[in-house]
Amino acid sequence: MDNIEKYLHPYTFAPAYQKRVAYFCMDYAIAQSLKLYAGGLGFLAGSHMRSAYDLKQNVIAIGILWKYGYYDQIRQTDQTMGVLFQEKVYSFVQKTDIRFEITVNRAPVQVGVYYLPPHIFGTVPFFLLSTDLPENSYMAQSISHKLYDSDKTNKIAASILLGVGGFKLLELLGLSPDVYHMNEAHALPLVFPLYEKYGNVEDVRKRVVFTTHTPEEAGNDKTDIRLLSDMSFFSQLSTDQVKEITKIEGEVFDHSLAALRLSRLSNAVSRMHLDTARNIWSKYTGICPIMHITNAQSYTYWADKYLYDYLQAGRDDKLLARKRKLKKRLFEEVADQTGDMLHEDVFTIVWARRFASYKRAGLLLEDMDRLHSLLTNDKYPVQLIWAGKPYPVEYGEISVFNQLVRLSAKYPNCSVLVGYELKLSKLLKQGADLWLNTPLVTHEASGTSGMTAAMNASVILSTPDGWIPEFVQHGRNGFVVPKVDVTLPVHEQNDLDAKHMYDVLEQEILPLYYTQKSAWLNIIKNSMQGIVPYFDSERLAQEYYEKLYNA
């Protein structure tokens, strides 16, 4: 086996960060060129691992080297969305000679290990697992093919690879961590070999912590316990043993509930999410305490440094000129993809994130008359850009995407982009005047896209969900629409939120942008100054040690 020394950190750990942590996550957004991510969870994990490196923390990242990534978002011949699974090749990810075996479907599966050195992207050491080996059957190889595969058994197998595979790798390398951090419940299978190793629940609990990102009970995986057992999800434990240690009754196994019962501490990802999480889980006995660590993003990766240089120097003219240049860069991408020629002096609204029903990409379409009025307003002209990737078999959200594409064909100042990954995300955040955020209230655990938009002189307009109540002060550093009654039927909440969005846009934001330039600039500056340092992931990485790992 390879010499373990070459996989260790290239720095001496800072005194506050000595405890060894293994961070398990299903996807990571580290760099555009490494396609290991799907959406917000990966963006968050990538920023965390960058800041852990910058702070010289004793953290190791465990993930999976996905052969096809999430998917490549392409266009059909009529401009509607297409899905492409293309093999990814990375010369900068090192293939190791480490091999070991896990059990999936009660059969042996060989696991290969790849290593991403810290100097490549400025992250902690990464170990990436793969079953795409010639000695495996095609079914076994496919475990590491598609991130969040729509096939249920492949998703279960991927969790086994991440959890059990990550545990076995660390044991093989002699790197037994002080803390195993499950970032979401995907890595849950790791707790079962831990139990087999120590023989009691308390020794498992004292080593495991858990971050929950899902604010709805229905959004947490629940699976027939017999299927999980047949697939070797529980390692060598019987279902009776699993029920005994997780205290889960019946035949439906709740993954997040098991994680909460087998961890010593858990965190929600915003203050608002903490209330939701406690409401969901308080009816269950035996769960660990839940606190919150609000998500954040890497300033060093996301922020345009020239904007901040001009802000700190008090050079408003240069700040505005830089913003105009960044808008031009975005519009070159828009023209290349769509043929639309947008203009830097026109107010530009961007909606861009993963397409999911609760994020409501089509919220402005709730009132087509007002949308038409917005897009044809000569006094206060507007440009609208949408971008984002639906889950590749979530046909409802693909239909929304295609509806927006058809809408954009009618309006030259309305564009829909494909390929929403790190590079395009940065272009959009740097080029937007207004970052539109429309989640159904109480359904967004945190959300982070607005954080990085604010780091690039984009002003936020949002519903009051996730992290937004911790930052936005209406009219001072952004805009928040009035909160609706969350007990109303969803279609009524949609109608009200759309109405409020249009009201704020038409009555406050557009007149301010076009007739009170200095006031608009003050909002930009307040937003840029306020977003850091609290929403920089250095604070997040520090709090994970203080509140979760060392607690």
Predicted confidence band at 8 (pLDDT cuts at 50, 70, 90)?
confident
Mean pLDDT, to the nearest integer, of 456-463?
98
pTM to 2 decimals? Answer: 0.96
Q: Which pLDDT score, from 0 to 100, does residue 377 have? A: 96
CA-CA distance, 287 to 307, in Å (whole number)?
45
- Beta pairing partners, 223: 253
Pairing mode of beta strands 81-84, 414-417:
unpaired
Cβ atoms of 166 and 129 within 8 Å: the answer is yes
Q: How far apart are the first and last CA of the chain?
A: 35
Would you say residue 3 has pLDDT above 90?
no
Does this chain's domain 17-297+539-549 share its CATH topology with 299-535? yes
Cβ atoms of 166 and 62 within 8 Å: the answer is yes
Q: Which pLDDT score, from 0 to 100, does residue 169 have? A: 97
Q: Which pLDDT score, from 0 to 100, does residue 522 have? A: 98
Would you say residue 113 has pLDDT above 90?
yes
The string of DSSP letters for 345-395 reads TSEEEEEES-B-GGG-TTGGGG-HHHHHHHHT-SSS-EEEEEE--B-TT-H
Would you say residue 217 has pLDDT above 70?
no
Q: Which pLDDT score, from 0 to 100, does residue 216 have? A: 72
CA-CA distance, 505 to 101, in Å (whole number)?
57
Domain formed by 299-535, architecture:
3-Layer(aba) Sandwich (3.40)
Tally Cβ neighbours within 10 Å of residue 351.
Answer: 27
Domain boundaries of the chain, sorted by first residue: 17-297+539-549, 299-535
pLDDT, tens only, 197-209: 999 999 999 999 9
CATH of domain 17-297+539-549: 3.40.50.2000
Q: Which pLDDT score, from 0 to 100, does residue 5 have? A: 77
CA-CA distance, 118 to 120, in Å (whole number)?
6
Tally Cβ neighbours within 10 Å of residue 151.
Answer: 12
Nearest Cα to 60, choosing from 114, 22, 7, 13?
Answer: 22
Q: Which pLDDT score, from 0 to 100, does residue 37 have? A: 96
Would you say residue 1 has pLDDT above 60?
no
CA-CA distance, 20 to 22, in Å (whole number)?
7
Mean pLDDT, to the nearest integer, of 203-221?
89
Share of the chain above pLDDT 70, in %: 99
Dihedral angle, C-alpha 176, 179, 180, 181, nearest 10 °: -150
Q: Which pLDDT score, from 0 to 100, does residue 419 have? A: 95
pLDDT, tens only, 355-374: 999 999 999 999 999 999 99
Would you say residue 258 has pLDDT above 70?
yes
Predicted confidence band at 214 (pLDDT cuts at 50, 70, 90)?
confident
Residues with Cβ within 8 Å of 93's Cβ and at least 6 positions away in sequence, in order, are: 34, 65, 114, 115, 116, 128
Q: Which pLDDT score, from 0 to 100, does residue 7 have? A: 83
pLDDT, tens only, 388-438: 999 999 999 999 999 999 999 999 999 999 999 999 999 999 999 999 999
